[in-house]
């Protein structure tokens, strides 16, 4: 397996959201970054991280709290977005290490927020869309949600759905299931 990157960052973000349109002047901002480190050679999840991010131009709505369990008081204890990006780069080698997410939402949210705030994008160019890889590996016509993909694979949903730390952990389990099927991009038979 010499052609396989050993470590992969699996990332899932939660962002401020509303039931309908955002209030005047508010924008969707990242409030939680979940990151699970996967050792593809060993076939295991080796680290689990959570970064709370304090929103600057929005707030956590009741709808958002109901969906994610995150409250305004909780995210107020977080760090700023620029600091979170520096943390990803410095402590999690986000710029050097390949990364993956369920779909493209997380990648696009980081891009939009970095551009809007003048923050340096923390990730490198090697991103894998786990949803696409899963859909292709299972020859599905419709792309499933993460919880449905776990069900299809026979894996449990661990923790709370729509919580960045827990979703990253669960997505990492799907990455490992794909790798075990030799269906993860870049994996080769041992």
pLDDT digits (tens, 9 = 90+) for 37-82: 999 999 999 999 999 999 999 999 999 999 999 999 999 999 999 9
pLDDT digits (tens, 9 = 90+) for 1-36: 334 569 999 999 999 999 999 999 999 999 999 999
Cα separation, 174 vs 146, whole angstroms: 9
Ordered strands of the 127-129 beta sheet: 44-52, 30-39, 7-15, 99-101, 127-129
How many CB atoms within 10 Å of residue 44?
A: 11
Cα separation, 73 vs 93, whole angstroms: 29
Calculate helix-pair angle for 105-117, 81-92, nearest 10 degrees: 120
Cα separation, 113 vs 3, whole angstroms: 33
Both tokens of 106, joined, read 């997380």
How many CB atoms within 10 Å of residue 154?
A: 7
Go through the domains of the chain in sequence order and give each one's CATH number.
7-180 (3.30.420.10)
Residue-by-residue DSSP string for 89-128: HHHH-TTTS-EEESSSHHHHHHHHHHHHHTPPP---S-EE
Query: Is beta strand 44-52 parallel, antiparallel or unpaired with respect to 7-15?
Result: unpaired
pLDDT digits (tens, 9 = 90+) for 110-168: 999 999 999 999 999 999 999 999 999 999 999 999 999 999 999 999 999 999 999 99
Both tokens of 184, joined, read 């993860």
Strand partners, 9: 37, 99
> C-alpha distances in angstroms, 68 versus 59, 104, 164, 172, 183?
13, 19, 8, 19, 31
Both tokens of 45, joined, read 């999840």
Whole-structure pTM value: 0.94
């Amino acid at each position: 397996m010499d052609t396989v990157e050993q470590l992969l960052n699996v990332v899932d973000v939660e962002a401020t959201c509303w039931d309908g349109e955002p209030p005047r002047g508010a924008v969707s901002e990242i409030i939680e970054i979940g990151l699970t480190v996967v050792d593809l050679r060993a076939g295991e999840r080796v680290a689990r991280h959570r970064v709370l991010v304090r929103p600057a131009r929005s707030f956590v709505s009741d709808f958002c709290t109901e969906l994610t369990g995150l409250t305004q008081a909780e995210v107020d204890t977080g760090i700023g977005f620029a600091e979170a990006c520096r943390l990803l780069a410095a402590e999690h080698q986000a710029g050097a290490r390949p990364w993956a997410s369920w779909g493209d939402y997380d990648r696009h949210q980081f891009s939009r927020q970095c551009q809007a705030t003048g923050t340096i994008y923390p990730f490198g160019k090697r991103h894998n869309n786990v949803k696409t890889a899963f859909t292709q590996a299972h020859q599905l016509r419709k792309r499933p949600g993460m919880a449905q993909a776990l069900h299809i694979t026979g894996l449990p949903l661990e923790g709370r759905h729509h919580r960045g730390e827990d979703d990253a952990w669960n997505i990492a389990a799907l990455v490992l299931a794909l790798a075990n099927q030799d269906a993860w991009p870049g994996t080769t038979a041992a």
